[in-house]
Structure 1
Amino acid sequence: MSTALLRRALRRPGAGVGCSAAGCPRVDVLVIGGGISGVQIARHCAARGLATLLVEKEDFGSGTSAATTKAIHGGLRYLEQGDIPVVVESLRERRLLGLAAPHLVQPRSFLLTAYDWSTPRAPILGAGVGLYEALALGRNRGILRDLRARRPRWVRREELLTQVPWLKREGLVGAWRHDDSLNLHPERLLLAILQSAVDDGAVALNHARVTGLLPAPQRGVRVRDELTGESADIQAEVIINAAGPWAAEALGVEAQRNGVAVAQSKGVHLMTRDLGNTDGVYVRGANGHHIVVNPWDGRQLIGPTDTPMDGSPDDARAEVSDIELLRETFDSVAETPLRREDVVDTLVGVRPLLMSGDSTYTSSRRFDIIPGQPGVYTVLGGKWTTGRAMGEKVSAEIIAREAGLPPTKRISAELPLHASMRGYSTMSEALDAAVRAAPHLGLGREQREHLARMYGEDHVRILGLVAEHPELGQPLEPQKPQAAGASGRGCLDCAAQVVYAVEAEGACTLRDVVDRRLSLGTRRAVSAEALDAVCRVLATVLGWNGTRLREEREAYSAAQRGRAEILDQGFACPSSALS
């Protein structure tokens, strides 16, 4: 195997892969794909005691798993479809995520708005919310006191307009308010789950592309190190392809023989400035399209779209038509149209849709396990909220099928999560403890709370870096006075997080660090000043020369400019001309 890959692998001290008789690295289970599905499957296989290796062609969580509305939800919309089992499972998993990661999963109220022209009507919406809450009975059991959900209630028109100042008044009836959960930092939560797998002995490799299956009678894959170009063969008793939209690509020419075909649906969000609402808002536009307007970290997310797409998911981009659809939907229920200056950036993800005539449909009815040639399985479907249940069921079913796997141990539904801030009675108590840690460092309360929420108990490792090198406590994006009428705040990330991203979290590129280890890139539209600050640290930690720094920085900046240009085009005509 590439020595560079092994050097940067996420693994606990002493963990590693075995060696086959032929000299190839060998594992019990090899998981393809570092999104939430692959990470949860790897976690459950490792927790059962199987030698597990996860490989991801780009970076952990770099695909669909990062392009979310940042909600952990029970699937209220499934009630309209009559799919009660889906809702029950989602509600159970929502609670388990809240127990496992209280620093990253917190309550979020959502308002289901009703107009006199919209459907379903307000009484039907209320009945749906009532059933939803009844199915979630016991959701607060074991949850920290200040993170418990409130009862749903009806919000009258005038009160609603004070809470959501941008809503169109004409025809507005009111809204039903209910509590779901906010996925505060999906990238960090995914890394915490992955680190949990590593704690149990798994090894995880990013920037490691599977280029094909090994020829029979071998079981395994060929992997190419995307940063060095080196390749290696890895043997595995079982291969689980959880690459999502890239599932067919991961199997290459074997995809058709294994019965794997994937249709793709693109989901686009607009990220805007703070629009004034502190609760999430579900609304159906006059065009019949549903959107969620969800406040997050001084920003708002508006979306998603759901449009079919062809070609490689690597090429997924927000297009003018996507932006126009979101504008048309939002503007039809807004008092004033959305303006270009309101929009910070776009966010794009690709959902995999199953196209298979022969599959094993699991009891959750949200994902499929498709058996291919001996020892090879493809898993399609699943979502953030139910990823744990999917990982548990996939690992159990495949273990039951594969006699060649060693005996495994049983695991609990309440697996401990790496560095989770448990053991407190309230989240406020946990954050207060974080603020009191290492008081001599001089970091402000807001920055300390930010680090505790991002890293859980591991925030002390960031503080340790600052203690050794005080200059690493400097913010990457210095706070600036807010202009009159402006809202939100700047980014609270510091230079120590960049060092930690490389040394402890497998980050290899500028995008790995900015977009998936820090909060900086998740807030989009990263300033030149902040990019320069990150690059200065990376030059030292990774030993990059001037050429490598310029290439990485220009590639990041070019991608930002491209998204901005599409936004400009998407706002080129007035919203009145879109309908």
Structure 2
Amino acid sequence: MSHSDFDIVVIGGGINGCGIARDAVGRGYSVLLAEMQDLASGTSSASTKLIHGGLRYLEHYEIRLVRESLMEREVLWRMAPHIIWPLRFVLPHHRGLRPAWLLRLGLFLYDHIGGRKLLPKTRTLDLTRDPAGKPLRRGYAKALEYSDAWVQDARLVALNARDAADQGAEILTRTKVTRLQRRDGGFLVELTDQETGQVREVTARLVVNAAGPWVDQVLRQSAGENDRRHVRLVQGSHIVVRKLFDHDRCYIFQNKDNRIIFAIPYEDDFTLIGTTDRDFNESPDRVQISREEIVYLCEAASEYFERGVMPDDVVWTYSGVRPLYDDGASKAQEATRDYVIKVDGTGQDGAIVNIFGGKITTYRRLAESVLEKIEQALGAHGAAWTAGATLPGGDFPVSGFGTLVSQLKQGAPAVPDVTIRRLARNYGTRARQILGQEGQLGRVFGADLGENEVNYLMDQEWARNPEDVLWRRSKLGLRFSPDETAALTAHMEARVTARDWADKSTRTSNSE
């Protein structure tokens, strides 16, 4: 087993772990990140995919969280205008639930406490005249419309990891931390490759535990806290149905149980509906939507849409487990979404920085808060820098997406317009690397997924199998047939085998 030394080892390849790794390496720390599965394979690919303040959190008086989230919307939009873009949300007034004056007050705060500059402000809609009222049942006459934003959540994770690697971090996927032992004022970290079983040991001055739903497992393994519980696991599930409306706005619906759900345009031809909130007491590996959750989401949507939503209409579902900090809240939906950072140990005896809770909107601010703890333990290096830096492919103005699409089309006139737009949305300016000088997709496996794109995802974004490509780096799995998936599988397996043999030959040659 070989030995390497790092300032920081980050455990967990979700949005928090990758965001922390990126920020830390950009300040001059040496960083290794270990993820036991694929990037964003847990909670970070199972969100409602919103960059939002969290309107309902105002009811729970989480003003700081809402304000910080609102301030981050435009910061993140500028960082990644290809995978983040503004959306307008329509909130119909439902008689008998929250009164209209309360909703207006909440949205007044929403407009004014977060430093909104580019996003449009709230307005009132007449649903009897506005197109947003057409898909809704009769009786909904008034609505409020406000701004938030959309994000391709799993791609946000991959881009943070890519940027961290570009700056010198070592990113290891499918690599589990199997032992964590304090030694000589730091840590001995044992890493096990989940595919080959190969074991590697590294040393670290500090460890960041950003394992999400597995954060307590890491604590039990490293700190001997066998009985203490820090996180409250809350399951959130979503359903996807065929498109329920033709416009590009979203709906936020109030429910009689005091919860809300969203209905969001999704991947052009679909509508995303979610989410649920219920306590989860099993292993995070076993999370899946229940029949009860499907029925709940269908019934909640049918309360508003003229065309009812039935369980048989569901074409895809996904579920995730939110690792919320256990604050003793009586209901899952009342548990805080704010992040909590706890430090175990010091810079002299080896510090573990543990991350609890958080939401995708505040991941960058969470990373900055974690870096403050790291600086206290290891000493300061560079200054905070991420607020003004773009993510890979995002080096164009927030108003420049149409121009980017036109430029890509000029370089690839034979590629359909809808594919050019999808590539621009996924990769921004780095779509040029996929299209190449010839402006081609390569062999197309299904939908509009070409060989050049697959190879790029394998070489640049740690994709290893079709699930990585079809359900995390993209959502093209919604359009793939079994035969097309089999062809993609064969291509990726052959490429992985060839690359592994090349790596083995290189290691053998170097050892000689």
Distance between the aligned counterparts of 2:380 and 2:310, measured in 1? 59
Q: Does 2:287 align with 1:316?
A: yes
Q: Please name the residue that 1:488 is paired with.
A: none
User: What residue number does 2:381 align with?
Assistant: 408
Q: 2:27 aligns with which of 35, 42, 48?
A: 48
Instruction: Determine the structure 2 residue equivalent to 1:543.
Output: 497
CA contact (8 A) 1:79 1:128 kept: yes
Deviations 1:17-65 (A, max 9, x none): xxxxxx6211000000000010111111111100011110101111101
Q: Which residue among 391, 401, 419 is the counterpart of 1:427?
A: 401
Q: Which amino acid aligns with 1:538?
A: M
Offset, 1:255: 5.1
Q: 1:531 to 1:465 in 2, by over 3 A?
A: farther
CA distance in 1, matches of 2:421, 2:25: 31
TM-score w.r.t. length of structure 2: 0.88
| Residue identity in the other structure for 1:195 | R
1:347 lines up with 2:348 in the alignment: no
Q: 1:250 aligns with which of 218, 240, 248?
A: 218
Aligned partner letter, 2:382: K
Indicate conservation of the 8 Å contact 1:104/1:454, yes or no: yes
Contact 1:111 1:280 in 2 (8 A): yes
- Give the letter aligned to residue 128 of structure 1: G
The alignment partner of 2:92 has SS state of strand
* Identity score, percent: 31
Alpha-carbon spacing, 1:530–1:139, altered in 2? closer, same or farther (3 Å): farther
**Number of aligned residues:** 482
Structure 2 residue 157 is the aligned partner of structure 1 residue 179: no
TM, length-normalised to structure 1: 0.78
- The residue that corresponds to 1:283 in the other structure is 253
The residue correspondences of 1:295-310 to structure 2 (distance < 5 A) are: 295-297=265-267, 298-310=269-281
| 2:123 equivalent in structure 1 | 153
* Counterpart mapping for 1:358-377 below 5 A: 366-373=338-345, 374-377=350-353
1:90 deviates by 0.8
Q: In the TM superposition, what whole-angstrom CA distance separates every residue of 1:333-354 from its partner, at most 9, and x where no partner exists?
A: 3334312442111110100122
| Residue 231 (structure 1) shift | 1.5
Contact 1:443 1:473 in 2 (8 A): no
Write out per-residue CA displacement over residues 219-241 of structure 1, whole angstroms, 9 at most, x where no aligned residue: 13211100101122221000000
Q: Is 1:78 matched with 2:48? A: no
Matched to 1:514, the amino acid is L
Provide the rounded CA distance (Å) in 2 between the counterparts of 1:157 and 1:448: 35
2:161 to 189, 194, 214: 194
Amino acid at match of 2:315: V
| Aligned CA distance change for structure 1 residues 438 and 283 (closer, same or farther; 3 Å) | closer
1:499 aligns with 2:455: yes
CA distance in 2, matches of 1:271, 1:106: 20
Amino acid at match of 1:249: Q
Aligned-partner SS, 1:126 = helix
Alpha-carbon distance in structure 2 between the residues aligned to 1:255 and 1:319: 35
Tell me the residue number matched to 1:444.
Answer: 416
CA distance in 2, matches of 1:518, 1:280: 21
In the alignment, the residues of structure 1 paired with residue 183 and residue 114 of structure 2 have an alpha-carbon distance, to the nearest angstrom, of 48
> Over residues 154-207 of structure 1, what are the superposed CA-to-partner deviations in whole Å (9 max), with x where a residue is unaligned?
1113135x424442213x241100111111x22222211211111221111100
The residue identity in structure 2 corresponding to 1:134 is H
Q: Amino acid of the residue matched to residue 543 of structure 1?
A: T
Q: Is the 8 A contact 1:110 1:177 kept in 2?
A: yes
Amino acid at match of 1:370: K
2:92 maps to which residue? Answer: 113
In structure 2, the residue matched to 1:573 is: none
Please name the residue that 1:124 is paired with: 102
Q: 8 Å contact 2:298–2:311 — kept in the other structure? A: no
User: Unaligned 5+ residue runs, structure 2?
Assistant: 329-335, 499-512
Q: CA offsets, 1:74-102, max 9 Å, x none?
A: 22222223332222211111110111111
- Is the contact between residue 87 and residue 249 of structure 2 (CA under 8 Å) also seen in structure 1? yes
Task: Give the secondary structure class of the aligned counterpart of 2:449.
Answer: coil
Alignment match, 1:16: none
* C-alpha spacing 1:465/1:311, structure 2 compared with 1 (3 Å): farther
RMSD of the alignment, in Å? 2.4
